[in-house]
């Protein structure tokens, strides 16, 4: 039996994708082998890899002057790879701090260059985005980094910042959740384990003029230019994760592409926030203008009921609702593979729980 899985990542994958992978597991397209058992340099696998890239380009409408890189080391490796590739050692770089993941990106970048925290949401306890008029951007930053969606805090930018330096975005928990204008960005990166596929893969989309600037000492596997020149096969890539991401991209196209997917995600989020706001029992602390469509944290009126809520939710097939250990409470992640029926079931459960305990 499949449950409704609200995990923040690794997260739910589309059932149709898992079933296709299962059906192809031992005899992949008549080869008599699993896709995991063939060379990454074989014609058959290269076709899979190229098709995945083509489908991702189609979904996000990625312009031709951007490279798509399939990397390892998660988004965390990119926290270091970004300054190594885009900023000389004496460079100044701007970061917007809107929560836990921005903070991690900042502390890693600070090991490689001078970081200016141009805006800090500390005063709002990381429940909002500081007004643009308060941002203190540098004159000549090598780039501006931000986290469009904070997975833990549930804070999401509803806009793309207007900056003159190349804009770098950690889209780990929002990529593919709706259409975006890639041309506004210098670099987009995302760990795969939410809206792309299995953990072990990290996708980067980088504008051509930002390639070839890696500082001395950058490991070869993290040098964007070298990786791009090798078609992301400088060494053995995570072939199964890449194949599965390709199946997810095909599934997204069959769903009608990102405009359709985005509308569904908006409806899912609206349903859950409405349930929370109208309850008088549940509470979401985030400024309504910056509420995430993908990660919805919420508190119960009485934290003493948290454990009962989780136990009963589990029994009802609603899984992985516990909030991040750093903030407590609950969190429902509503990535692409989570259907609206899951949100309806959660919403009904929440109302019933409130009637019984509120």
- Binding residues for ligand PMP, rule: CB under 6 A, are 9, 74-76, 101, 147, 151, 170, 172-173, 191
The active-site residue out of 170, 222, 223, 251 is 170
The active-site residue out of 55, 94, 120, 194 is 194
Radius of gyration, CA atoms only, the chain: 21
- Separation CA 332–CA 318 (nearest Å): 10
Strands (E), 66-196: 66-71, 92-97, 114-120, 144-146, 149-150, 155-156, 167-170, 187-191
Active site residue 268: no
Could you tell me the smallest distance in angstroms from the CB atom of residue 101 to ligand PMP?
4
**CB-nearer residue toward ligand PMP: 127 or 173:** 173
Could you tell me the smallest distance in angstroms from the CB atom of residue 312 to ligand PMP?
26
DSSP letter for 121, please. G
- Separation CA 294–CA 269 (nearest Å): 7
**CB-nearer residue toward ligand PMP: 105 or 354:** 105
Could you tell me the smallest distance in angstroms from the CB atom of residue 76 to ligand PMP?
3
Q: Residues with Cβ < 8 Å from 38, sequence gap 6 or more? A: 28, 31, 44, 45, 239
Active site residue 194: yes
Q: Residues with Cβ < 8 Å from 257, sequence gap 6 or more? A: 59, 179
**CB-nearer residue toward ligand PMP: 195 or 347:** 195
Could you tell me the smallest distance in angstroms from the CB atom of residue 39 to ligand PMP?
26
Q: Which residue in the shown chain puts its C-beta closest to ligand PMP?
A: 74
- Separation CA 293–CA 334 (nearest Å): 7
Active site residue 101: yes
**CB-nearer residue toward ligand PMP: 105 or 300:** 105
Q: Which residues are catalytic?
A: 101, 170, 194
């Amino acid at each position: 039996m499949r449950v409704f899985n609200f995990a923040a990542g690794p997260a739910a994958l589309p059932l149709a994708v898992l079933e296709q992978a299962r059906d192809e597991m031992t005899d992949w397209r008549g080869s008599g082998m699993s896709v995991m058992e063939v060379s990454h340099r074989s014609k058959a696998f290269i076709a899979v890899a190229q098709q995945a890239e083509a489908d991702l380009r189609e979904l996000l409408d990625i312009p031709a002057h951007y490279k798509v890189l399939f990397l390892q080391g998660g988004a965390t490796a990119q926290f270091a790879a970004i300054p190594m590739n885009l900023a000389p050692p004496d460079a100044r770089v701007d970061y917007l701090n809107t929560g836990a993941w921005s903070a991690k990106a900042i502390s890693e970048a600070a090991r490689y260059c001078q970081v200016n925290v141009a805006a800090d949401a500390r005063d709002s306890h990381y429940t909002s985005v500081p007004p643009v008029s308060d941002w203190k951007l540098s004159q000549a930053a090598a780039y501006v980094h931000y986290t469009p969606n904070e997975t833990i805090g549930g804070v999401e930018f509803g806009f793309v910042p207007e900056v003159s330096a190349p804009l770098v975005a950690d889209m780990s928990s929002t990529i593919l959740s709706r259409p975006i204008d890639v041309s506004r960005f210098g670099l987009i990166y995302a760990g795969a384990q939410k809206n792309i596929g299995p953990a072990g893969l990290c996708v980067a989309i980088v504008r051509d003029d930002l390639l070839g600037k890696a500082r001395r000492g950058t490991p070869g596997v993290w040098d964007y230019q070298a990786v791009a020149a090798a078609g992301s096969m400088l060494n053995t890539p995570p072939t199964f994760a890449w194949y599965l991401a390709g199946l997810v991209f095909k599934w997204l196209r069959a769903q009608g592409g990102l405009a359709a997917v985005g509308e569904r995600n908006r409806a899912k989020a609206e349903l859950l926030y409405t349930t929370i706001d109208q309850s008088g029992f549940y509470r979401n602390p985030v400024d309504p203008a910056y509420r995430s469509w993908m990660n919805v944290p919420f508190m119960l009126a009485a934290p003493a009921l948290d454990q009962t809520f989780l136990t009963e939710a589990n029994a009802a097939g609603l899984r992985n609702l516990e909030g991040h250990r750093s903030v407590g409470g609950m969190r429902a992640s509503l990535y692409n593979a989570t259907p609206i029926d899951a949100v309806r079931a959660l919403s009904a459960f929440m109302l019933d729980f409130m009637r019984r305990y509120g």
